[in-house]
Amino acid sequence: MMPKRFDMVIRGGVCVLPWGQAEADIGVLDGRIAAIGARDADTADEVVEAAGLHVLPGLIDPHVHLRDPGDARVESILTGTRAAVLGGIATVFDMPNTSPAVTDAATLAWKQGFVPANAHCDFGIYVGATRANTGELAWLERRHGVCGVKLFAGSSTGDLMIEDDEGIEAVMRHGVRRIAFHAEDEYRLQARRPMFRTGDPYARHMDWRDEECAFLGTRRIVALAHRTGRPAHIVHVSTAEELDFLAGHRDIATAEMLVNHLTQIGPDCYAELGGYAVMNPPIRDRRHYEAAWAAVRDGRVDTIGSDHAPHSRAAKERPWPDTAAGLTGVQTSVPVMLDHVNAGRLSLGRMVDLMAAGPARVYGAVAKGRIAVGFDADFSLVDLRRTRTIENDWIATPAGWTPFAGMRVTGWPAATIVRGRVVMRDDEVLGAPAGRLVTFH
């Protein structure tokens, strides 16, 4: 057999394939995986030496808020995707609660046109559900690059919140693709708010937004999903009760878990970090932390995301509950999860399932999430043995902080490859932004 010529060969790494781990050289041609098991005689324009590294399919963060359009002093598509590739992420799905929000054809078209010259990685766009655009959602969800509809049933502002069953059901009846839900119950949130005072300890956040607030919201949405036949993806599931409940509704509902809910534990995190631990839904106590890991291990969790949601330091340091809710995370999710792998909490294969194959399956991303011939040549190369401390000065997001500052981890992203282009190697971002919109089923 004649030697083959590739654009790129990744040599010497241990590849995490859908059928297991194997040392194999990978050939890349025209941005796609062309061979698994390239031969020594094969040649390439570029050789990526991966000896000592594990070659993962390009990891996907399906839950980021890059604030664009918005305030570039906090975050933007340019800086947020730079942070992503530095952290070993090859694709992000960006939430719609920007300023202005992505809820109409004109704003969506602007974002579709803006991404290619400004994103360092590939990109999916959420469209936000509102009462005003409900009738257009079936059309909007089919536009190029749209990963899905996001509905905020609680914890949002302006017209991006639809808290009542009638409004949520109307959205579910306009379109067919899986809807991503923020499932806190807004009525319970507002009823409980007078129980707390400005200046109360930050740990009161998990008391106000209690387990029943999340569980009630999830129960309501799953009931509506069954009524309408519309599949639901419950993002940032945070309670043991939700995880047990969702296990009985796998025919209609999938679940996302956040890195924070697998790593930080209340009330200790609030004592340590103050406002820098405040997010929605909140980081909870050890019972829910243990339940989260049990669900990861037994398959009840479908995807892991960061819910990367930067705010300025001033906004995070306001007294509770006026502190801005949301944490940075797109750059730190891979090293933190690799540390969990090294600690034995999950296997590397399960991490790939949750952070590559899972998001691709749940959202219908075409040719993403697996190392397989014909798929996009997206790879996250990681060094499982490298030990390093996460520090604020490594963070590319302009907000300039991470709730994991000072955390010593074992496992680190060594390179990020997007469609056959090395976009990050050894903490250096390479080349101009050249991200593309992901195609979805």
What is d(CA 199, CA 410) in angstroms, rounded to the nearest whole number?
37
Extract the tokens encoding 114. Answer: 């803006």
Q: Does residue 167 lie within any of the structural domains?
A: yes
pLDDT at residue 46, as a whole number? 98
pTM (2 decimals)?
Answer: 0.98
At residue 155 the predicted structure's pLDDT band, cuts being 50, 70 and 90, is: confident
Strands (E), 97-209: 122-128, 146-152, 179-182
pLDDT at residue 246, as a whole number? 98
Q: Does residue 403 lie within any of the structural domains?
A: no
pLDDT at residue 255, as a whole number? 98
pLDDT tens digit string along 92-117?
Answer: 999 999 999 999 999 999 999 999 99
Q: Does residue 383 lie within any of the structural domains?
A: no
pLDDT tens digit string along 414-437?
Answer: 999 999 999 999 999 999 999 999
Average pLDDT taken over every residue of the chain: 97
**For residues 110-130, average pLDDT:** 98
pLDDT at residue 158, as a whole number? 63
Q: Does residue 39 lie within any of the structural domains?
A: no
At residue 1 the predicted structure's pLDDT band, cuts being 50, 70 and 90, is: confident
Whether the CB-CB separation of 340 and 262 falls below 8 Å is answered with yes
pLDDT tens digit string along 41-61?
Answer: 999 999 999 999 999 999 999
pLDDT at residue 424, as a whole number? 98
Please tell me which residue, 378 or 1, carries the higher pLDDT value: 378
Whether the CB-CB separation of 76 and 66 falls below 8 Å is answered with yes
Whether the CB-CB separation of 273 and 265 falls below 8 Å is answered with no
What is d(CA 337, CA 108) in angstroms, rounded to the nearest whole number?
32
Q: Is the pLDDT of residue 391 over 90?
A: yes
What is d(CA 134, CA 146) in angstroms, rounded to the nearest whole number?
16
pLDDT tens digit string along 367-379?
Answer: 999 999 999 999 9
What is d(CA 271, CA 246) in angstroms, rounded to the nearest whole number?
31
- Catalytic residue list contains 307: yes
Strands laid side by side in the 43-49 sheet = 32-36, 26-29, 5-11, 43-49
Whether the CB-CB separation of 306 and 64 falls below 8 Å is answered with yes
Question: Percent of the chain, pLDDT > 70?
Answer: 99
Measure the N-to-C terminal CA separation of the chain; round to a whole number of Å: 37
Q: Does residue 386 lie within any of the structural domains?
A: no
pLDDT tens digit string along 209-247?
Answer: 999 999 999 999 999 999 999 999 999 999 999 999 999
**Residue 192 — left, alpha, or beta (φ > 0 → left; ψ -120 to 50 → alpha)?**
alpha
**For residues 374-400, average pLDDT:** 98
Cα–Cα nearest to 121, from 329, 415, 416: 416
pLDDT at residue 103, as a whole number? 98
What is d(CA 340, CA 330) in angstroms, rounded to the nearest whole number?
16
Q: Which helix (H) or strand (E) segment is 122 a member of?
A: strand 122-128
Q: Residue holding tokens 């992901």?
A: 438
Q: Does residue 182 lie within any of the structural domains?
A: yes
Q: Does residue 420 lie within any of the structural domains?
A: no
What is d(CA 34, CA 27) in angstroms, rounded to the nearest whole number?
5
Which of 42, 94, 185, 307 is catalytic? The answer is 307
Q: From the centroid of its chain, how far is CA 97?
A: 15
What is d(CA 309, CA 330) in angstroms, rounded to the nearest whole number?
9
What is d(CA 126, CA 128) in angstroms, rounded to the nearest whole number?
6
What is d(CA 51, CA 18) in angstroms, rounded to the nearest whole number?
20
Single-letter code of the amino acid located at 90: A
Question: What are the φ/ψ torsions at residue 30 (nearest 5 degrees)?
Answer: 55, 40
Extract the tokens encoding 354. Answer: 């949750």
pLDDT at residue 313, as a whole number? 98
Q: Does residue 78 lie within any of the structural domains?
A: yes
pLDDT at residue 431, as a whole number? 97
What is d(CA 313, CA 41) in angstroms, rounded to the nearest whole number?
54
At residue 2 the predicted structure's pLDDT band, cuts being 50, 70 and 90, is: confident
Angle between helices 211-228 and 165-172 (to 10 degrees): 40
Q: Is the pLDDT of residue 157 over 80?
A: no
What is d(CA 251, CA 255) in angstroms, rounded to the nearest whole number?
12
**For residues 144-157, average pLDDT:** 91
Single-letter code of the amino acid located at 337: M
Here the CATH number for the domain that contains residue 120 is 3.20.20.140
pLDDT tens digit string along 61-70?
Answer: 999 999 999 9
Task: Give the range of the structural domain holding residue 128, as residue numbers without chain letter.
Answer: 58-363
What is d(CA 66, CA 308) in angstroms, rounded to the nearest whole number?
8
Q: Is the pLDDT of residue 40 over 80?
A: yes
Greatest CA span in the chain, whole angstroms? 76
pLDDT tens digit string along 271-329?
Answer: 999 999 999 999 999 999 999 999 999 999 999 999 999 999 999 999 999 999 999 99
- How many folded domains does the chain comprise? 1
What is d(CA 237, CA 234) in angstroms, rounded to the nearest whole number?
6
Q: Is the pLDDT of residue 136 over 90?
A: yes
pLDDT tens digit string along 328-344?
Answer: 999 999 999 999 999 99
What is d(CA 368, CA 377) in angstroms, rounded to the nearest whole number?
9
